[in-house]
Every structure is written in C-alpha cells, then in structure tokens.
Amino acid sequence: MTVANLTSPAFDLKAITRPNIYSLEPYRCARDDYKTGVLLDANENAYGPSLKIEEMNLDDNAVLSAKLLAGLNRYPDPHQEDVKQLLCNLRNEPSKDDPSVVPLTPENLYVGVGSDECIDTVIRCFCAPGREKMLTCPPTYGMYGVSANVNDVEVVKVDLDLATPGFPVRTDAVCEALTNDPSIHVVYLCSPGNPTASLVDPAAVKKILELPSWNGIVVVDEAYIDFSAPGSSLAPWVTKYDNLIVMQTVSKAFGMAGIRLGVSYTSAPIARILNAVKAPYNISSVTSELALLALSPESIANMRVKLAAIIEQRDRLLTELPKIPGVGKFIGGNDSNFLLVQILDKPGGEPSSAVANKVYETLAQNKGVVIRFRGKEPGCVGALRITVGTKEENDVLLEKMAETLAATYA
C-alpha cells in the first residue's frame, strides 16, 4: 500500500535549515564502523571501570541497583556539588602541601555530558555565530571542528609542527595568528593530543595565556592526562590564569565512558558563565551516583592499578610492534593510552597511507582486530592509531598484525 505524502508543497527542508547545519559532516566515531572484535580503536580503557565491581557481592549489587533506581522519579541535582568536590580533591592532591597553589573548589567547575558538551558550551558562550572564530592545531580531535560548524563559527587552523616527532605546538605561529585576528576568541589545545599522544609543552600554553596582544580563552583538553607522568595536568593553573579552561573526563583513565561525564576546570567567573547556559539537569542521577563511586578513594586506587597495567602494555607495544616487518616509526608521543605508528609500503620502505588503510580494513574485517586509520590527518602519512589493550588483546594484535603485513607484502 502506498502512503500519500501529506507534506505541504511549500515545504523545503534545505531552505529552512541553517546552511552550516545542512552542509555539516558529522563527527565519525569509532563505533560507526565496527562494534565487535578486539576493539583497539576508540581509546577506551581496556581494563574496564575503576569501580571495584569484582569485590561487590550480590547484596552490594542489589543495594547499588536499588539506589540508582529509587530516585528516578525526581530530577537530579542541578549543581552536582558532591561530584565537583571529589573532582577538585583529585586534582588538588599533587599540590596539597604547596602553600603557593590555591586549591580548586566547586566554584571552579562546570560538568557536562562528556567532554563534547564542554567543548560545545565554550563555543556557544564565547564565539558569536558567523562573526567570531576559534583556533585549533591539527592534527587534533575532530569534535572541535564539528562543534564549531554546528555553531557557525569559523575555525582558524595552525598546524602542529608536522616535521618534528611528537608534533609540538608552533607557539610563535599561534601567537601571530591571534595577534593578527582579534575575532579569534578561543584556542583549543589537546594535551595529550589525539591522535598525537603527546603532551603540549606547558611553556607554550603559558606563552599563549600571557600574550599581551590578544583577548581570548585557551582551552587545554586533557582527556588522556592520567596516562601521562604524574603532575602533568594544568588544572591547578586555573586559579592563577583567568583565561584558562582545562577539560577532563572520566571516560578514559576511569574506564567510565558509558556514563558520559566531562569536566571543565576554570576560573570562577568563567565557570559561572558556563553553568548559566547549561540545561538545568544536564547530569543524570545515574551518572552522578556512579561518578561518586568512581571518585571514591577505593576506586581511585583501583584506577591507578589499572593505569599501571596499561602503561606496562604500552611499553610492550613500543618494543614489540617495531619488530614486525613493515611497521615503521612511532610518530606521536608516549603520553596516552594509544600509539600512533606508521605502516610502510614494504619492509624498510616509506610510509604509505594506502597500505595502512588496507591493513586497517583487513584487520577489522578478516582478523577481528579493530584499530583506527589516521593516514588522512596532517603529518600522519601511513599512520594507524592503536589503543593499548590488555595483555591478551595485545597478544592477538601483534599476531594478527604480523600475519596481515606478511600477506600484504607477499
């Protein structure tokens, strides 16, 4: 049976859609392509949540389930003060005995539905659509550009130093762009970078923050900061720099990607602005309860045990992957739970994006191992991004990578 089209003949979807939205190419996430297999493509924590689930008995689980369900008829806490305090405690800990450091308080925080809401909120607050701009340093996280496009905000791109291992920020080029264009209101720096896995030099951040010829906000996205050396986070800086936002998440080190909780540490005046524009109840009761558990001392200790296991496996991949004929250089850093490595056109040859893409597809479609192709990013010719898995997952990765490359070159 044919259903009649009752739409008015005057209806024209393109004509009534904002042009920047109609032409928008949405961010393509890892799960758009593959959902099963050894999943080493999305930079998730392969060791699971930081919650000490294995020590919970049936009664504990029943209590937790009852607690999560009991209050669902009520709206959640709009301010999340308890969660914010635990997040402050986490970043205050390394500097608690330093009298020169002003401790973070809940007044320094905005929490969002994952880092993606934090990214979007900053753009909505500080960049007027169609008029003001933001700056990014490719290769970098794709959602900065997607959020900018959604908000009709132009992106000025200043590539990282593509010729230097680790992809450092070209600080002077960034400062020149900001000085020459006062319509740039926000700078996004990813540290450790995605896909570069490298920390941004704090001296570079400091120079941009203190640039006397520019009025704007610097956002340092530290989603992967806990995989870096202790003390690497710049979150404590927000109490002395009024124009700094440091974004973090419980998705990575805490293994809690499913609850969608992102955090922005910043000055109290900026935090007030961010909190003023958010939806009243953006953080659900379930997310809040699970975050409180994840940020408990017991779960933080458990998280650090799993971090140590990930770093051990990261060191293993740094040693073992180059032994496979056809695997080239690591072109990123070693500061995250993933690595960026080049695939060659032949053993001892040159980096090849065509071969890397073929290896990526063969691993995913025929070998049950899913990593991520990054050969189209600036400076990333032939690059694959590989999330650090468990020992068992990495055993499979190394075996299947060797098989696939051998067959590719045969």
Q: What is the DSSP string of 243-271?
A: TEEEEEESSSTT--GGG--EEEEE-HHHH
Asked if residues 40 and 389 have their Cβ atoms less than 8 Å apart, the reply is yes
| Residues 265 and 311 grouped into a single domain | no
| Residues 100 and 218 grouped into a single domain | yes
Q: Who's near 42: CB < 8 A, 6+ residues apart?
A: 29, 30, 31, 372, 387
| Residues 123 and 270 grouped into a single domain | yes
Nearest to 331, CA basis, from 353, 307, 308: 353
Show which of 270, 295, 320 is a domain's final residue. 295
Domain carrying residue 378:
30-49+300-409
Q: Who's near 72: CB < 8 A, 6+ residues apart?
A: 285, 286
Compute the distance between CA of residue 87 and CA of residue 30 in angstroms, rounded to an integer: 28
Q: Who's near 32: CB < 8 A, 6+ residues apart?
A: none
- Whether residue 121 lies inside any domain: the answer is yes
Print burial letters for 186-208: b (CB count within 10 Å at least 16), e (below 16): bbbbbbbbbbbbbbbeeebbbeb
| Residues 223 and 236 grouped into a single domain | yes
Q: What are the CA-CA distances from residue 7 to residues 1, 4, 12, 73, 286 (Å)? A: 18, 9, 10, 38, 40
| Residues 249 and 219 grouped into a single domain | yes
| Half-sphere exposure in the Cβ direction for 20 (13 Å, CA) | 13
| Residues 289 and 309 grouped into a single domain | no
First-to-last C-alpha distance (Å) of the chain: 55
Show which of 229, 260, 295 is a domain's final residue. 295
The tokens for 265 are 């540490």
| Residues 141 and 285 grouped into a single domain | yes
| Residues 345 and 377 grouped into a single domain | yes
For residue 187, the cross-strand partners are: 135, 218
Q: How many domains does the chain have?
A: 2
Nearest to 115, CA basis, from 241, 205, 250, 237: 250
- Whether residue 107 lies inside any domain: the answer is yes
DSSP 8-state assignment for residue 30: G
Identify the three-state secondary structure at position 108.
helix
- Whether residue 373 lies inside any domain: the answer is yes
Compute the distance between CA of residue 302 and CA of residue 136 in angstroms, rounded to an integer: 35
Compute the distance between CA of residue 94 and CA of residue 91 in angstroms, rounded to an integer: 7
**How much is the pLDDT for 38?**
76
CATH number at residue 276: 3.40.640.10
**Strand ranges across the sheet with 327-330:** 327-330, 338-343, 383-387, 372-373
- Whether residue 56 lies inside any domain: the answer is no
Q: Who's near 283: CB < 8 A, 6+ residues apart?
A: 76, 77, 80, 83, 111, 112, 113, 261
Asked if residues 125 and 148 have their Cβ atoms less than 8 Å apart, the reply is no
- Whether residue 350 lies inside any domain: the answer is yes
CATH number at residue 405: 3.90.1150.10
Q: How many CB atoms lie within 10 A of CB 213?
A: 10
pLDDT tens-digit profile, the chain (410 residues): 454 545 446 546 576 455 665 665 655 555 556 667 777 776 666 766 666 655 555 456 666 666 667 667 778 888 999 999 999 999 997 776 677 778 999 999 999 999 999 999 999 888 889 989 999 999 999 999 999 999 999 999 999 999 998 999 999 999 999 999 999 999 999 999 999 999 999 999 999 999 989 999 999 999 999 999 999 999 999 998 989 999 999 999 999 999 999 999 999 989 988 888 888 889 998 999 899 999 999 999 999 999 999 999 999 999 999 999 999 999 999 999 999 999 999 999 999 999 999 999 999 999 999 999 999 999 999 999 999 999 999 999 999 999 999 999 98
| Residues 308 and 287 grouped into a single domain | no
Q: How many CB atoms lie within 10 A of CB 102?
A: 14
| Residues 284 and 311 grouped into a single domain | no
- Whether residue 9 lies inside any domain: the answer is no
- Whether residue 16 lies inside any domain: the answer is no
The beta strands (E) that lie in 205-320 are given as 217-221, 244-249, 262-266
Q: Who's near 293: CB < 8 A, 6+ residues apart?
A: 51, 64, 299
**How much is the pLDDT for 52?**
61
Q: What are the CA-CA distances from residue 170 to residues 140, 161, 201, 296, 339 (Å)? A: 14, 6, 10, 39, 22
Show which of 295, 327, 343 is a domain's final residue. 295
- Whether residue 124 lies inside any domain: the answer is yes
| Residues 181 and 38 grouped into a single domain | no
The tokens for 201 are 């030099």
Asked if residues 227 and 192 have their Cβ atoms less than 8 Å apart, the reply is yes
Asked if residues 30 and 42 have their Cβ atoms less than 8 Å apart, the reply is yes
| Residues 202 and 119 grouped into a single domain | yes
